[in-house]
Amino acid sequence: MSTVENKEQMPPAEPPLILGNQTFGTVTDRISKLAERKTTLTWLAALSLAASVALLLLGSIGYLFYEGIGIWGLNVPVAWGWAIVNFVFWVGIGHAGTLISAILFLFRQKWRTSINRFAEAMTLFAVICALVFPGIHVGRIWVVYWMFPLPNQMDMWPNFRSPLLWDVFAVSIYFTCSLVFWYTGLIPDLATLRDRATTKIRKIVLGIFSLGWRGGNRQWKHYELAYLILAGVSTPLVLSVHSVVSTDFAVSVVPGWHTTIFPPYFVAGAIFSGFAMVMTLGIITRKVFHLEDFITNQHLEKMNKIMLLTGMMVGYSYACEFFIAWYSGNAYEQFAFINRAFGPYAWAYWIMISCNVLIPQMFWFRKLRTSIPVMFVASIFINIGMWFERFVIVMSLARDYLPSSWDYYSPTTWDVLTFIGSFGLFFTLFLLFLRFLPVVAMFEVKGVLPEADPHHKGGSH
Amino acid sequence: MGRQGKEYWRSLNQLADTDEFKEFLHREFPKGTVELAGNAWSRRSFLTTMGASLALAGLAGCRRPVEKIVPYVTRPEEIQPGLPNRYATTMPLGGSACGLVVTSREGRPVKIEGNELHPSSQGAAGTFMQASILGLYDPDRSQEVLKDGRSSDWDAFVAFWKKQQVWHIADGGEGLAVLSESFSSPSLSRLKTQFEKAYPRAKWVSYDPVSDGNISLGIEAATGRKLQPVYDYSKAKVVLSLDSDFLGFESESVKATLGFADGRRVLSQQDDMSRLYVVETALSITGSTADHRLAIEGGRIAAFARALAGELSRQGVLLNVLDNVTLPDGSDFDGKWLEVAAADLIAAGRQSLIVVGRRQPAEVHALVLALNEALGNIGETVSYNENSDSPDSNRETLAELTADMREGRVSTLIYLGGNPVYNAPVDLEFASSLRKVKTIIHFGLYADESAAGANWHVPQAHFLESWGDARAVDGTTSVIQPLIEPLYGAHTDLEFASLLTSGETKSAHDAVKDTWKDILGGGDFDKKWRRVLHDGLLTGSAAANVIPRIDRRGLTGIISASTVEKSKVTVSNMEIGFYSSNVFDGRFANNGWLQELPDAVTKIAWDNVALVSPATAEELKVENGDMVTLNYEGRSLEMPVWISPGQAKYTVAVALGYGRTAAGRVGTNTGFDTYRLRTAGAPYFASGLTVGNIGNNYTLANTQDHGSMEGRPIVRENTLAGYKDKVEFFPEEPHHPPLVALWDEVKYDKGYQWGMSIDLNACTGCGACVIACQSENNIPIVGKEQVHNGREMHWVRLDRYYAGDKENPEVVMQPMTCQQCENAPCEQVCPVAATTHDDEGLNVMVYNRCIGTRYCSNNCPYKVRRFNFFNYTNDIPEVAKMAQNPEVTVRFRGVMEKCTYCIQRINTAKIDSRSKGREVADGEIVTACQQSCPAKAIVFGNINDPESEVSKLKENNRKYHVLEEINTRPRTSYMARLRNPNPALVSKESHKSEHENG
């Protein structure tokens, strides 16, 4: 078996990434079995729960289409509410997957192999959830396709100056690339499953999806090159997508939105929240599927370090915004930030600060950084905090230039149901993934086993 | 059917000629459809049914319904399809009359504007006048004659009355009583005289809950004559208002606003403006315009007037007529204020004016007439004329009538309009006094509270459906001509009154012509009459001014009859004040435009509230929206409280006209019925009120949550003296980096370039522009819940900011609408380019293209864009759709909308000018808001033409742009507000307006 990973010797100080004396055989066995075994009751129960919640989303959307955007809590100063908050939240979550699979790949971080598969799956599903919101939040859903540059008899193009249009391109490209990247990564493992398949249907279906993969030397050579290129293509996306999303705000004139720090700040936040979500999902998956040998404490600790780093970047951005508001001498800007911390939405602001800035500080301590319960709880808090970050930003609308139009936004039941429902959709997709596909990239994990060390085989491939 | 050949039948029922089929033929609509309009239908159930119907309609197939239209065979000469016709008419309201020009399209009136020839409107129109177009198409108006609550018809009523009339004539009208509203109509007074002749023992009582009765009583007491005052605010250099909201809810406010604004028009540093002192209880539109305002209880205004008289006489004004009256000194009031105001009034020399509001008792009016006379103002700033066509609205007579009814002395009571069951003083117990009346006939627009207990209800025609006439306050006779056949088969006032008098049905047209034959005198009647119809009034018919002579005995008598006491109000003995409101006295309660128009000062729509001052609220421990109990004279009312800066301490102000129980789908159960606390003895204010806090909070729909400008240069102002000294305005414009663009900017220097100027010194915040815009641009009514959610749709809103002392703040009003930024932030962010710039500088909305991302609204710094969160127009009743302007698209759900400077009017004028081969002249295009503005604060035109009025105003040194510093480059500019405080008071007031607002 060849390796996709780097061919250097591991530094001796690093403890082994995969525990439990795994061999190629046991890796294949243990991971494949998860996709091959009989459906468990636990999974069925979880799926029915998730699917029911997803139905809430469908129901809410149905009612939304029937009645109009008015079922949400929007008003005139605050014309964007939870839908946009959720959109940015979900897009942000997606970023960790791409970062792990593409950037860490390019940086030859071997520890990514255990988590990249489900992190990428998470990306995909999060982006699906994210895409739901800009689609449904427009007033006239039936003409939403006018956002796309479709040739038409009126020669009417979309407005290329609008950040919302940039969003359309950024997010759809992101989704496409992530999908292709993820699927490409799946091919060798699908072929493994195909080879192990016992029923005819399985053989045919997996046969189709593994695209005739035989694991030959030439195939590996092409495959690795393709994977490398895709990783290269995906890498800028990690930075660009959320930068573009941030321009939705940064390009406007709204005090509190009109800030040049937004692109890097958003990207850091996205990675931060994405890792938190990977952590939450990883801890559960690991526990349920007994993958402790594959997703080890070492993996988790590394992710915690990234969260500590990105959390501090986010915290720095929060501080920087205040500094710039003061330094600019712009009274509207100054008001917007004082209002953020002490105005009607101060509660949301302080939730955000506590979750995103204070909680990650625990990870300075090794003991806390390696404690599973602590990191699980922390990851959930960070997810909450990052949702609130977007909420706080969007709510800058509530108090802009003319005090006469200031108003307060409160969500309605439908806002809440739609948001909860999006989690249903996310978990439904994720559960289907857990059930039918290899949760861990088997061939990549094999590549980081001691057996894969080229010195065992006497030469690189 | 004496027809040969085949006979076609519509259904088997017709063949069988069953009762059901006859009923079906008789009914205009199938059973079940008309009943839908009944009161029991809430919006929700209505929507449910509509939803179900829609679903069923969907099942029937996805084709559009086939609706055949048939062209005229011979076209009526005056109708050009697609082109509007304009007709002059008059809206009577109480004793006043407002001349209007109504735009009619294909036979249906759609827009009301002021008649420039008419003295009371002078081209502008107030909120009541403009909103009456919606009242015309109100589907809740009564649609059939009711006999004991059951459907009947006009013929049955005529037959009944003919029978009834016989024995009324026989006994001279004994036991016959007519209860009308006050009116000022030559024809109706002629009929009234005839009625009195036909039934000499009958009573004719007129009653209005809110009227100018006190004014006429006061004048009569002081002069011994029935006179009508006419004020000329444009001439007055110093105006002192004693509880008079002459710019707001007093009669003739349109005329007053124009005159007042003219007296304050400052176009250069050389110009002067008048000074306004206001003494009032609740902060009114007038109070918010004041240069100096004193907030005292309504009950102490009389004392203030006397103290003022004392002060004037001390300062040398000859007040011999008051020799027998002891005039108190001003020790009970702000002595300095009184002294300075008095000195100012004297200094203005025959150019001052003291005006008293109708809420004040007759004695104050009498006294002030004497003061105006002594100051030499009569004939200058106030003049009087005799108006014989207007019977007094006199509450004593209503009390007498009620007593008669109670004692069984009234057998037949006829309401000629009015709704006393709802709005009579509560202690008269009007409803219960009806029990002994044998026959009650109700003639009214609605089957309302009063109609409920009546034996007969006859639908009254709307004034836009009626022939009639009315006399304006200055005596000008104007004509009311119908714009449309009565929609619901109703009958006009004159028809009804003729029937009552003669027992014969006579058309109102004939009745009016009969009257006008006398008015127009000899000569060619038809020719003169046509001229009157064209103008809407008889030119030169204003009554001659009368110089009243003061009847010393009468004056002394009325003043001595009452005593004034020092203030006694405390937190446990507060004063309650009753005010008219956006729905006037309740008659406009079912008018959605007026309900949704936020109160000019509190900015609350769809409700009335108990206003208290911030300090009083603190003592009562109440907050905005808290439910309180108002206990007054053994009666109590629960209503929400609202903290209103500027309200006099320990007073509560409540608006009348809400809490109707049978107003219609809009007005029923909207707000709180404050008539339940209003007694005959104290119709406008009285002390003895206690307020109890209930605690629970009530949801109020307020369109402006924040009253402080936060020191931002949004409304900029200076004092007149400061401006004369140096052209600068506060708050100052902030420092900002150079306003440069990243790319070559469009020049906008060719052709027409539209722009607007709004003079904040003229604007009073009356709200006429809001209604005008709503009517012109088909802006939907969204209801209380939506307004509460911040989704009101008004394209132009009136922002109100407070500054300074919370207990007596300075107030500024600012009309805010799309500024048509040349560098529009909204345009840049729309992903589908649905909002773009045209080459005339307009920021246009392409509704068809809009997909509703609402990004433009977020990015609009002025927040003037409005979004259709629901399909609001879906709820518009079929008949009300007739009020819509066919030139303006009706917006569907999910679409953003906003002001486009009435682009339809611009294009009409452009088409017209092109067909005539010339340019659009300055002043040819008048936007709806501009047209209606009584203060003429809004000027619109081509800024590319240096000679246009708007260009000149934009050159004026008072011009500024709101939020100029973010480089939006608005096309709408404002003219900074000026105040004219008396230097003698400025130092004392420690001039709070260092413009550190809020």
Average pLDDT taken over every residue of chain B: 87
Closest CA of chain B from A74, distance in Å: 8
Range name among B33-42, B843-852, B862-871 with the lowest pLDDT average: B33-42
Contacts of B712 in chain A (CB under 8 A): 331-332, 401-403
Surface-to-core class of residue B83, CB atoms within 10 Å of its CB (0-12 exposed, 13-18 middle, 19+ buried): exposed
Share of chain A above pLDDT 70, in %: 95
What pLDDT does B292 receive?
94
The reply to whether residue B831 touches residue A75, judged by beta carbons under 8 angstroms, is no
Written out in words, the top-level CATH class of the domain with range B213-386 is: alpha beta
Instruction: Find the CB nearest B710 among A144, A253, A403.
Output: A403
A residues 246-275 lying closer than 8 A (beta carbon) to B:
248, 251-254
Q: How far is CA A444 from CA A187, A191, A232, A441, B518, in A?
A: 12, 14, 18, 5, 108
A residues 374-403 lying closer than 8 A (beta carbon) to B:
397, 399-403
Share of chain B above pLDDT 70, in %: 91
The pTM for the full model equals 0.89
Q: What is the pLDDT of residues B953-995, one digit of tens each?
A: 999 999 999 998 888 999 999 999 999 999 988 864 444 444 4
φ, ψ (nearest 5 deg) of residue B387: -125, 105
Q: How far is CA A305 from CA A96, A312, A386, A448, B883, in A?
A: 14, 11, 17, 21, 67
Tokens of A339: 């209002």
What pLDDT does B65 receive?
57
Q: How confident is the model at residue B327 (pLDDT cuts 50, 70, 90)?
A: confident
Q: What is the pLDDT of residues B588-623, one digit of tens each?
A: 999 999 999 999 999 999 999 999 999 999 999 999
What is the fold, at CATH topology level, of the domain defined by B145-211+393-535? Rossmann fold (3.40.50)
Residue in this structure with the two tokens 């729309």, named with its chain if needed:
B830
The structural domains of chain A, with segments of one domain joined by +, span 24-457
CATH number for the region B574-702 comes to 2.40.40.20
User: Is the Cβ of A141 closer than 8 Å to some Cβ of chain B?
Assistant: yes
Provide mean pLDDT across the span B642-668.
93
CATH number for the region B759-984 comes to 3.30.70.20
The reply to whether residue A331 touches residue B711, judged by beta carbons under 8 angstroms, is yes
Q: How confident is the model at residue B52 (pLDDT cuts 50, 70, 90)?
A: low
The reply to whether residue B851 touches residue A143, judged by beta carbons under 8 angstroms, is yes
Q: What is the pLDDT of residues B475-528, one digit of tens each?
A: 889 999 999 989 888 999 999 999 999 888 888 898 898 888 888 887 888 888
What is the fold, at CATH topology level, of the domain defined by B85-136? N-terminal domain of TfIIb (2.20.25)
d(CA A353, CA B926): 54
Give the closest residue to A115 by CA, choosing from A267, A379, A380, A301.
A301
What pLDDT does B40 receive?
52
- pLDDT tens sequence for chain A (461 residues): 444 555 455 555 567 777 777 778 888 888 888 888 888 898 999 999 999 999 999 999 999 999 999 999 999 999 999 999 999 999 999 888 888 888 888 888 888 888 888 888 999 999 999 999 988 999 999 999 999 999 988 888 999 999 999 998 998 899 999 999 999 999 999 999 998 888 899 999 999 999 989 888 999 999 999 999 999 998 888 888 889 999 999 999 999 999 899 999 999 999 999 999 989 988 998 888 888 888 888 888 988 999 999 999 999 999 999 999 999 888 899 999 999 999 999 999 999 999 999 999 999 999 999 999 999 999 999 999 999 999 999 999 999 999 999 999 999 999 999 999 999 999 999 999 988 898 888 888 888 777 777 665 444 44
Which residues make Cβ contacts (< 8 Å) with residue B803, sequence separation at least 6? B708, B709, B809, B810, B811, B812, B992, B993, B995, B997, B998
Contacts of B894 in chain A (CB under 8 A): 68-69, 138-141
CATH number for the region A24-457 comes to 1.20.1630.10
Q: What is the pLDDT of residues B878-888, one digit of tens each?
A: 888 889 999 99
Instruction: Find the CB nearest A76 among B829, B853, B866.
Output: B866
Contacts of A396 in chain B (CB under 8 A): none
User: Is the Cβ of A236 closer than 8 Å to some Cβ of chain B?
Assistant: no
d(CA B423, CA B441): 17
The verdict on whether omega for the bond into residue B731 sits within 30 degrees of 0, i.e. cis, is yes
Instruction: Find the CB nearest B833 among A141, A158, A400.
Output: A158
Give the closest residue to B460 by CA, choosing from B501, B418, B522.
B418
Closest CA of chain A from B589, distance in Å: 26
What residue ranges of chain B are covered by domains with CATH 3.40.50.740?
145-211+393-535
d(CA B448, CA A231): 76
Q: What residues form DSSP beta bridges with B974?
A: B758, B960
User: Is the Cβ of B996 closer than 8 Å to some Cβ of chain A?
Assistant: no
Q: How far is CA B112 from the centre of its chain?
A: 13
Give the closest residue to B690 by CA, choosing from B780, B758, B619.
B619
Q: How far is CA B55 from CA A66, A83, B219, B276, in A?
A: 12, 29, 65, 61
Contacts of B855 in chain A (CB under 8 A): 79-80, 162, 164, 248, 252
Sign of CA dihedral A110, A112, A115, A121: negative
What pLDDT does B614 receive?
94
d(CA B292, CA B286): 11
Q: What residues form DSSP beta bridges with B497?
A: none
**Test the B interface: residue of A404, A414, A415 with most B CBs within 10 Å:** A404
What residue ranges of chain B are covered by domains with CATH 2.20.25.90?
85-136
Provide the residue type at B135 as one letter.
G
The reply to whether residue B866 touches residue A335, judged by beta carbons under 8 angstroms, is no
- Which DSSP category does A396 fall into? G
Contacts of B715 in chain A (CB under 8 A): none
d(CA B486, CA B462): 8
Provide mean pLDDT across the span B544-561.
87
d(CA A353, CA A340): 11
- Residue in chain B closest to A83 (alpha carbons) equals B853
